[in-house]
């Protein structure tokens, strides 16, 4: 069998493995959240609050979808014309056209170009969030965070690009096999190191002072059988008024993180309710499941690239001879962008199902449906969430159940408990 034949077989195996993992681990039958309860919850919310949230999202959507459209158009232009290949060549020329310079600098130039093109939309989005009181950042703070995100992306991108093209040069016929394994391992590695090394770049984390709330959170984790090393407070107020809490890390690095904004605006019982939801993710190993899914997806993506690399018409449009040539980076990014766009609704669906299961876990763990519903109402109010978003947007990109869905779930649980 030829390397291309083996690649096709491997791609099929990875696709089946990903499908089986999703079927086994994703809760496809979500807890009940009757539509009648959703509509009742929507009617009970203050109409002024609902109108403000919907106005906020009406102003935010153009910033989001314009950036998405312009970024995708730029990526397709770089990938499906020879422009991307020419830019990669120019980036490597000052360094003697060395393959490493083309791979790393050329890739970073293409990615930075797309990012820069969408900066005006990010700035527009910042204006909207400041106007509605969600963001507390000055333009200086916003710019610093933007540069930090670019720097982190550049470092990770440089490592990935250098490793990928080193493998291509070392094994020109079987690079897809070694590249797939490397991509999968990189996804797993990042899942472990990002919470420890990258999160502190954007926020300062301090241990929560000894208090009844800290004791209750640690006791709740112990009761749930989810060991955590500490309870940390993130200085989210330096950039936002939004409230949140989450469980981060694996094993000895796992910790409960609470936004300082939540401590200021929510009751201790509501903080416990949110923490119980996050413990549900840890209890079910959702982060690990998503990591394995991501690793399989990354491996499948590398193999799919090698298969597409045999499509001569595609290569001619990009002005390259082989997908393993660093000059084909624009084409690689374009294919990845299209694949991400197509996979988005499926990823959102999986996320919503997992989040609904974590909601059910929080209700069972605390037994307090009233506080859970009150917390969802507060989250929606403070974060200006659309309590019942348009169906098209919900299906395309919503990663969590809507506010009224979560309130309806609490009401359904309370009836079952009674």
Residues in the chain: 418
CB 357 within 8 A of CB 28: no
Retrieve residue 237's tokens.
């107020």
Looking at residue 32, what DSSP letter applies?
A: P
Mapped onto helix, strand or coil, the DSSP state of residue 208 is coil
**Contacts of the segment 97-106: beta carbons below 8 A, 24+ positions apart:** 99/165, 99/169, 99/326, 100/162, 100/165, 102/326, 102/327, 103/161, 103/162, 103/164, 103/165, 103/326, 103/329, 104/158, 104/161, 104/162, 106/326, 106/327, 106/329
Active site (annotated) includes residue 235: no
CB 224 within 8 A of CB 247: no
Q: pTM of the predicted model, to two decimals? A: 0.92
Q: How many CB atoms lie within 10 A of CB 201?
A: 11
Supply the pLDDT for residue 418. Answer: 59
One-letter-per-residue 3-state SS of 72-141? HHHHHHHHCCCHHHHHHHHHHHHHCCCHHHHHHHHHHHHHHHHHHHHHHHHHHHHHHHHHCCCECCCHHH
Retrieve residue 403's tokens.
């506010």
- Nearest Cα to Cα of residue 388 among 399, 403, 406: 403
Outline where 224-328 has alpha helix (H). Answer: 260-265, 268-283, 286-308, 312-318
Retrieve residue 121's tokens.
């939309």
Tell me which of 260, 359, 388, 405 is the catalytic residue: 359
Does 277 count as an annotated binding residue? yes
Cα–Cα distance for residue pair 411/373, rounded to 1 Å: 8
Tell me which of 37, 278, 325, 368 is the catalytic residue: 278
Active site (annotated) includes residue 278: yes
CB 183 within 8 A of CB 299: yes
Q: What angle do CA 285, 291, 296 make, to 5 degrees?
A: 130
Dihedral sign for Cα 43, 44, 47, 50, please.
negative
Split the chain (418 residues) into runs of 10 and give each run's mean pLDDT. Answer: 85 95 92 94 94 96 97 96 95 91 94 95 97 94 94 93 92 92 93 83 91 94 91 92 85 86 92 94 91 95 89 90 91 93 94 96 95 93 94 95 96 85
Does 29 count as an annotated binding residue? no
Supply the pLDDT for residue 247. Answer: 84
Supply the pLDDT for residue 224. Answer: 93
Does 400 count as an annotated binding residue? no
**Domain boundaries of the chain, sorted by first residue:** 3-417
């Amino acid at each position: 069998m030829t390397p291309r034949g083996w690649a096709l077989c491997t791609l099929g195996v990875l696709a089946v493995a990903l499908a089986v993992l999703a079927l086994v681990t994703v809760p496809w039958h979500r807890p009940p959240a009757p539509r009648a309860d959703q509509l009742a919850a929507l009617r009970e919310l203050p109409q002024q609050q609902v109108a403000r949230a919907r106005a906020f999202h009406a102003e935010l959507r153009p910033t989001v979808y314009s950036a998405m459209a312009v970024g995708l158009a730029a990526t397709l232009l770089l990938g499906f014309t020879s422009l991307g290949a020419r830019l990669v060549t120019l980036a490597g020329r000052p360094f003697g056209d060395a393959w490493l310079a083309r791979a790393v600098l050329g890739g970073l130039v293409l990615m930075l170009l797309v990012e820069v093109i969408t900066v005006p939309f990010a700035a527009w989005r910042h204006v909207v969030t400041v106007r509605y009181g969600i963001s507390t950042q000055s333009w200086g703070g916003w710019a610093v965070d933007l540069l930090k995100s670019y720097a982190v992306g550049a470092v990770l991108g440089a490592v990935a690009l250098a490793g990928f093209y080193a493998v291509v040069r070392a094994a020109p016929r079987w690079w897809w096999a070694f590249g797939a394994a490397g991509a999968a391992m990189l996804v797993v590695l990042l899942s472990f190191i990002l919470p420890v090394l990258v999160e502190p770049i954007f926020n300062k984390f301090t241990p929560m002072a000894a208090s009844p709330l800290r004791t209750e959170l640690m006791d709740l984790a112990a009761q749930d059988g989810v060991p955590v090393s500490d309870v940390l407070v993130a200085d989210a107020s330096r950039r936002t008024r939004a409230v949140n809490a989450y469980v981060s890390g694996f094993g000895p690095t796992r910790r409960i993180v609470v936004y300082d904004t939540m401590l200021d605006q929510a009751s201790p019982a509501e903080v416990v309710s949110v923490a119980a939801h996050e413990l549900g993710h840890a209890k079910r190993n959702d982060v690990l499941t998503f990591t394995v899914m991501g690793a399989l997806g990354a491996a499948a993506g590398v193999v799919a690239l090698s298969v597409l690399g045999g499509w001569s018409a595609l290569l001619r449009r990009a002005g390259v001879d082989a997908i393993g040539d660093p000059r084909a980076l624009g084409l690689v990014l374009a294919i990845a962008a299209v694949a991400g766009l197509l996979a988005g609704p499926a990823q959102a669906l999986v996320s919503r199902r997992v989040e609904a299961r974590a909601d059910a876990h929080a209700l069972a763990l605390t037994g307090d449906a009233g506080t859970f519903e009150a917390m969802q109402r507060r989250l929606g109010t403070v974060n200006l969430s659309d309590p019942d978003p348009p169906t098209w947007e919900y299906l395309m990109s919503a990663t969590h159940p809507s506010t009224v869905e979560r309130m309806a779930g609490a009401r359904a649980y309370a009836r079952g408990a009674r």
